[in-house]
């Protein structure tokens, strides 16, 4: 079974954190027994240096010392050999890029994202899934910084690379197709976007995944595209299917839950189905608000989702003070949710 690369990178980051915890625990044990001689330390390996530096960078990021975090992530990347430990190198570089975004240094972040993708292509080759991940990262950064026209050929190239490696009916190809189509939709190229969204959905149908929560992502994206093209009847039918999945599925089981909830909220706002739009936008905003403000999803999407939620409340007839009160209540709900999660453990 294929494991998505983002999950692998997340596991890698967790491993770095655990490595840092183990190093601190060893140090604490010696401090508790000052009369005992310190254990001889083996020469630091490249992976050991990477683990240690990455853990320090994460601590600096949590403390919002962004400049220190950036320098440490860069140092972690420099200590990694892209040929021997490409995932470690990529995780450090991605975090360095995100830290530049947190600092508001968009041009530098774009440049770094381009460098990461170029190095992956040159060193790992076009067949390596990490190269595809680097291209997806570049496209995402360019898009979030408003460079839609520059992002479009990157999305297209990523689709071509995935097709070359996995064939034209793989799940990763379907996901890449849908993302490319969504960008084309934002560029106003609806006649190009729709066939790609239909193809992505067809891949999932052919694979027999209509009962899987992931199917909701593709239904939602195609419905949104059709709504933009004024094909309202078919759009409504597809979104009803997608909404039924959202109603009966937890956020943790939905692929790209934040994206799905936001797209559906905007869809139902456009159709003046305000109860649904309010529920979906509230759910999306709460999901983001529960995350640390250095989290990539929160950093890029929180204000966007808050704007959707505010628009829904305005459409419901609420005034400015009432809307501000609702937004504050979401913040309070997030604090309670995070406290409850911390007290009960994973």
Q: What is the CATH number of the domain that holds 218?
A: 1.25.40.10
> What's CA 102's distance to the chain center, in Å?
15
Long-range (24+ apart) CB contacts under 8 A made by 65-71 are 66/99, 66/102, 66/103, 67/103, 69/95, 69/99, 70/96, 70/99, 70/100, 70/103
State what percent of residues in the chain have pLDDT above 70: 85
293 shares a domain with 241: no
106 shares a domain with 126: yes
For residue 139, pLDDT over 80 is answered with yes
| Residue 81 domain flag | yes
183 shares a domain with 159: no
What average pLDDT is seen over the chain? 87
178 shares a domain with 202: yes
Contact, 141 vs 113, CB < 8 A?
yes
For residue 39, pLDDT over 50 is answered with no
Per-residue pLDDT, averaged over 172-192, amounts to 96
What is the maximum alpha-carbon separation in the chain? 78
- Domain end among 204, 236, 255: 255
231 shares a domain with 206: yes
Contact, 229 vs 203, CB < 8 A?
no
- Domain end among 255, 275, 296: 255
218 shares a domain with 135: no
For residue 99, pLDDT over 80 is answered with yes
What letter would DSSP give residue 251? Answer: G
| Residue 17 domain flag | no
Q: Quick one: pLDDT at residue 7?
A: 45
- Domain end among 163, 194, 228: 163
**pTM of the predicted protein model:** 0.83
Say how many domains are in the chain.
3
For residue 266, pLDDT over 90 is answered with yes
| Residue 41 domain flag | no
245 shares a domain with 271: no
Q: Quick one: pLDDT at residue 279?
A: 97
pLDDT tens, residue by residue, 296-327: 999 999 999 999 999 999 999 999 999 999 99
Q: Quick one: pLDDT at residue 310?
A: 97
Q: Quick one: pLDDT at residue 6?
A: 45
Contact, 53 vs 75, CB < 8 A?
yes
Query: Tokens standing for 214?
Result: 């992931």
Of 176, 114, 160, the residue nearest 141 (C-alpha): 114
State what percent of residues in the chain have pLDDT above 90: 77
pLDDT tens, residue by residue, 155-169: 999 999 999 999 999
Q: Provide the residue range defining the domain that includes 211.
A: 167-255
231: left (phi over 0), alpha (psi -120 to 50) or beta: beta
What letter would DSSP give residue 105? Answer: -
| Residue 2 domain flag | no
Which has more pLDDT, 84 or 225? Answer: 225
113 shares a domain with 197: no
Per-residue pLDDT, averaged over 264-287, amounts to 97
């Amino acid at each position: 079974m294929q494991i998505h690369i983002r999950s692998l990178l997340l596991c890698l980051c967790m491993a770095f954190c655990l490595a840092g915890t183990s190093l601190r625990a060893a140090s604490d044990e010696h401090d508790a027994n000052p009369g005992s001689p310190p254990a001889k330390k083996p020469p630091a390996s490249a992976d050991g240096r990477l683990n240690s530096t990455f853990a320090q960078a994460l601590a600096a990021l949590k403390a919002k010392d962004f400049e220190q975090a950036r320098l440490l992530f860069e140092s972690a990347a420099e200590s990694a050999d892209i040929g021997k430990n490409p995932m470690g190198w990529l995780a450090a570089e991605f975090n360095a890029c995100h830290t530049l975004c947190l600092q508001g240094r968009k041009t530098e972040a774009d440049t770094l994202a381009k460098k990461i993708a170029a190095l992956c292509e040159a060193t790992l080759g076009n067949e390596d899934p990490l190269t595809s991940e680097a291209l997806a990262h570049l496209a995402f950064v360019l898009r979030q910084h408003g460079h839609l026209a520059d992002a479009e050929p990157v999305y297209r190239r990523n689709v071509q690379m995935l097709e070359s490696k996995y064939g034209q009916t793989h799940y990763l190809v379907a996901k890449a197709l849908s993302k490319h189509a969504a960008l084309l939709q934002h560029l106003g190229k609806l006649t190009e976007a729709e066939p790609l969204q239909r193809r992505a959905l067809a891949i999932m149908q052919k694979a027999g995944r209509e009962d899987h929560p992931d199917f909701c992502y593709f239904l939602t994206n195609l419905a949104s595209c059709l709504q933009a093209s004024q094909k309202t009847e078919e759009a409504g039918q597809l979104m009803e299917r997608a909404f039924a999945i959202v109603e009966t599925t937890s956020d943790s089981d939905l692929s790209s839950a934040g994206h799905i909830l936001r797209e559906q909220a905007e869809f139902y706002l456009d159709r003046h189905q305000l109860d649904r739009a309010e529920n979906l936008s509230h759910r999306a905003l709460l999901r983001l608000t529960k995350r640390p403000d250095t989290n990539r999803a929160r950093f890029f999407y929180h204000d966007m989702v808050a704007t959707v939620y505010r628009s829904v409340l305005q459409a419901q007839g609420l005034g400015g003070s009432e809307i501000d009160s609702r937004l504050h209540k979401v913040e309070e709900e997030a604090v309670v949710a995070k406290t409850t999660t911390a007290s009960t453990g994973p």
